[in-house]
Amino acid sequence: DAKTTQPPSMDCAEGRAANLPCNHSTISGNEYVYWYRQIHSQGPQYIIHGLKNNETNEMASLIITEDRKSSTLILPHATLRDTAVYYCIVRGSTGANNLFFGTGTRLTVIP
Amino acid sequence: DAGVIQSPRHEVTEMGQEVTLRCKPISGHDYLFWYRQTMMRGLELLIYFNNNVPIDDSGMPEDRFSAKMPNASFSTLKIQPSEPRDSAVYFCASRFDSSYNEQFFGPGTRLTVL
């Protein structure tokens, strides 16, 4: 499985965009990039995933570089409730069910 | 749907006792996963089921741990006998057999073994 590298922590001002980077230089052609987050004392929550193209949903946007070796999760208007640990995971689709959660990025949204 | 339901939310027990954690997945989901989270090791997959059948239990730490899924709406994770190093938060998650890996997690059970 492709390993991911994320900064251990980041701060973001409330109302500003939070840009969380992830490096996955060994990603293979059929592997997706998934983002999950874990708010304190809760279970992880799925945010978004993508293969090649940029993706957007009601929670966030995912920008994947053309060579697919890195990606950025964007929370367009961060709120205090977005304070959490964000995990970038690279994995296949069906048939590859193990999600390996690394150490993630601890995002703190500051009032 | 109420989401994935886990019980109990908190469990405190003494070393050597049997512990049973319970999970009700989201209705219609084909896969069920058990994870364990500790400060030292992070979030680890213990075992997962597909259509009630255990598929991969390579993450189960040792024979003291066992998991069952007698039907599509219920699963248990049992530890017998429990040890202090089993203290952790145990999460259950479920997903559809879809084309991508979106897992829905329960609130977790915080287990403390004294």
pLDDT (tens digit per residue) in B53-101: 999 898 998 899 999 999 999 999 999 999 999 999 999 999 987 757 7
Q: What is the distance between the alpha carbons of residues B112 and B98, in angstroms, rounded to a whole number? A: 35
Half-sphere exposure for A53 (CA within 13 Å, toward CB) = 2
User: Would the CB atoms of A99 and B98 count as touching at under 8 Å?
Assistant: no
Cα-flanking dihedrals φ and ψ of residue A82, to 5°? -85, -5
**Cα–Cα distance for residue pair B88/B111, rounded to 1 Å:** 5
Per residue of chain A (111 residues), give pLDDT as tens: 668 999 999 999 999 999 999 999 989 888 899 999 999 989 999 999 999 989 999 999 999 999 999 999 999 999 999 999 999 999 865 555 678 888 899 999 999
Mean pLDDT of B16-28: 97
**B73–A contact, CB cutoff 8 A:** no
Instruction: Give the pLDDT confidence score for residue A16 in this predicted structure.
Output: 97
- Choose the mutation target among A31, A97, A101 for the interface with B, i.e. most B CBs under 10 Å: A97
* Chain B residues with beta carbon closer than 8 angstroms to that of A102: 42
Q: What are phi and psi of A109, to 5 degrees?
A: -95, 125
Residue B81 preceded by cis peptide, ω within 30: yes
pLDDT at B19 over 60: yes
Q: Which two tokens stand for residue B71?
A: 């039907």
The three-state secondary structure class of B105 is strand
Cis, bond preceding B8 (omega within 30 deg of 0):
yes
End-to-end CA distance of chain B: 36
